[in-house]
């Protein structure tokens, strides 16, 4: 019996010499020290011996077991050390190599200008309102005095979702929704995406961004409108910019106007950008039509309002001297990374 256990131990020592990986080691450990190993079997069989024999054999078996455990734990230490050294050698970190640059994304120019415009109006006490891109004909047209067959409808021809729902052609829809839900004083801007079934060319896109504004309160007049818009334009483009209001027509404002700004390129002398006029048309505006107020249950005898609207894309193009609107939507990094 003793000899058998000695041989077992010697065998284990011999075999452990050839082990170089953790997996191989594990296999041997189970074979020699596992539950089904010969050593465990001998320990189980001890009960068949007499009391005295049991004591002396047991002591011997435990000695062998202890030696066996020692040699196994020495071996695994060695294997791990060797593996670690190998790994360290293979994975040399060359700190002199240049690092990999993580390129940060940044805002699209439309977003840059939109943020800037919002800041200007927020500083003047406006708050931001948003509404759905798909809206009913009522909010997009009728509530704004644009009835069926009104010529202004074909000017803003749009995409119909079904018989009564459209992709909004302007964010005036948000003004109506706000007047229905809030009582004056109202002082909001409504930025957002709008849609018109225009063919795509250098100055038109079927999808573009717009910002409209609305102020409703007692004693609001045209001077407030002019003052607010002039302040906005000068903050945005600089104090040297001149503004000019021209009478115009919108079904939902009365009186209505368009605002022009002196040309950024020729400073008012006349060039190809302003088509020789020295001025560039920049936004539409006017005093909210009393019928529009009444439809939202705002007493037009007591309250007045002014409204304005402009294309954000156009502001971007003017600010950066971009001549083709398509560049803003093509996701061409050669263009976008310039901002
Ligand atoms: N809703 C108009 C448009 O999209 C712009 C506008 C808004 C004009 C408010 C006057 C007053 O063309």
| Domain locations along the chain | 2-90, 109-336
CB 56 within 8 A of CB 64: no
For ligand 1, atom 5, which residue shows the shortest CA distance? Answer: 309
pLDDT score, position 329: 92
Q: Is 253 in the pocket of ligand 1 (CB under 6 A)?
A: yes
Closest residue (by CA) to atom 9 of ligand 1? 308
Predicted TM-score (pTM) above 0.95: no
Q: What is the pLDDT of residues 207-244, one digit of tens each?
A: 999 999 999 999 999 999 999 999 999 999 999 999 99
Phi, psi torsion values for 182, nearest 5 degrees: -125, 150
Positive or negative, the Cα torsion across 232, 233, 239, 245? negative
Q: How far is the CA of 323 from the centre of ligand 1 (A)?
A: 23
pLDDT in tens, the chain (339 residues): 778 888 888 888 888 888 888 888 899 899 998 888 888 888 888 888 888 888 888 888 888 889 889 999 999 999 999 888 888 888 888 888 898 888 888 899 999 999 999 999 999 999 999 999 999 999 999 999 999 888 877 777 789 999 999 999 999 999 999 999 999 999 999 999 999 998 899 888 999 999 999 999 999 999 999 999 999 999 999 999 999 999 999 999 999 999 999 988 788 888 887 889 999 999 999 999 999 999 999 999 999 999 999 999 999 998 898 989 999 999 898 999 898
* Protein residue with least CA distance to atom 2, ligand 1: 309
Helix (H, G, I), strand (E, B) or coil at 337: coil
Cβ(225) – ligand 1 distance below 6 Å: no
Q: Domain 109-336 has what CATH class?
A: alpha beta
289 Cβ closer than 6 Å to some ligand 1 atom:
no
d(CA 339, CA 111): 11
Q: Is the CB of 146 under 6 A from ligand 1?
A: no
Name the residue with the closest Cα to ligand 1, atom 4. 170
For residues 130 and 51, what is the distance between their CA atoms, to the nearest angstrom? 92
The per-residue pLDDT for 155 is 74
For atom 10 of ligand 1, the residue with the nearest CA is: 285
Q: Which atom of ligand 1 is nearest to the CA of 172?
A: 1
Is the shortest distance between the CB of 307 and ligand 1 below 6 Å?
yes
Pocket test for ligand 1, best of 189, 212, 220, 258 (most atoms within 8 A of CB): 212
Distance from the alpha carbon of residue 180 to the mean position of ligand 1, in angstroms: 19
Is the CB of 306 within 6 Å of ligand 1? no
Neighbours of 219 (CB within 10 A): 8
* 250 in contact with ligand 1, CB cutoff 6 A: yes
Note the pLDDT of residue 272.
Answer: 82
Alpha-carbon Rg for the chain, nearest whole angstrom, is 41
pLDDT of residue 258: 98
Rounded to whole angstroms, how far apart are CA atoms 204 and 194?
12
Q: d(Cα 37, Cα 40) in Å, to the nearest integer?
A: 5
């Amino acid at each position: 019996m003793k000899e058998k256990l000695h041989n077992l131990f010697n065998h284990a020592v011999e075999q452990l010499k050839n082990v170089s990986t953790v997996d191989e080691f594990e296999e041997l450990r189970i074979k020699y020290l596992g539950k089904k190993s010969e050593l465990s079997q001998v320990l189980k069989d001890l009960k068949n011996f007499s009391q005295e024999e049991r004591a002396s054999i047991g002591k011997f078996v435990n000695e062998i077991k202890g030696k066996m455990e020692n040699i196994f734990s020495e071996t695994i230490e060695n294997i791990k050390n060797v593996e670690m050294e190998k790994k360290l050698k293979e994975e040399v970190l060359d700190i002199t190599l240049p690092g990999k640059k993580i390129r940060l994304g940044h805002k699209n120019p439309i977003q840059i200008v939109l943020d800037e415009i919002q800041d200007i109006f927020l500083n003047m006490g406006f708050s931001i309102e948003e509404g759905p891109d798909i809206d009913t004909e009522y909010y997009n047209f009728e509530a704004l005095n644009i009835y069926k067959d009104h010529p202004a409808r074909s000017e803003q021809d749009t995409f119909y979702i079904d018989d009564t729902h459209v992709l909004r052609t302007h964010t005036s829809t948000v003004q109506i929704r706000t007047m229905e839900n809030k009582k004056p004083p109202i002082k909001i801007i409504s930025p957002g995406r709008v849609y018109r079934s225009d063919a795509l060319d250098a100055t038109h896109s079927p999808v573009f961004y717009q910002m409209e504004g609305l102020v409703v309160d007692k004693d609001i007049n045209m001077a407030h409108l002019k003052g607010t818009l002039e302040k906005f334009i000068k903050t945005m483009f600089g104090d040297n910019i001149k503004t000019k209001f021209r009478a115009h027509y919108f079904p939902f404002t009365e009186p209505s106007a368009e605002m022009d700004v002196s040309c950024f390129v020729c400073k008012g002398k006349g060039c190809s950008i302003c088509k020789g006029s020295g001025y560039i048309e920049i936004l539409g505006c006017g005093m909210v039509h009393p019928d529009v107020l009444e439809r939202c249950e705002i007493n037009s005898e007591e309250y007045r309002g002014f409204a304005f609207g402009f294309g954000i894309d156009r502001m971007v193009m003017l600010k950066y001297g971009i001549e083709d609107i398509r560049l803003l939507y093509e996701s061409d990094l050669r263009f976008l990374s310039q901002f």
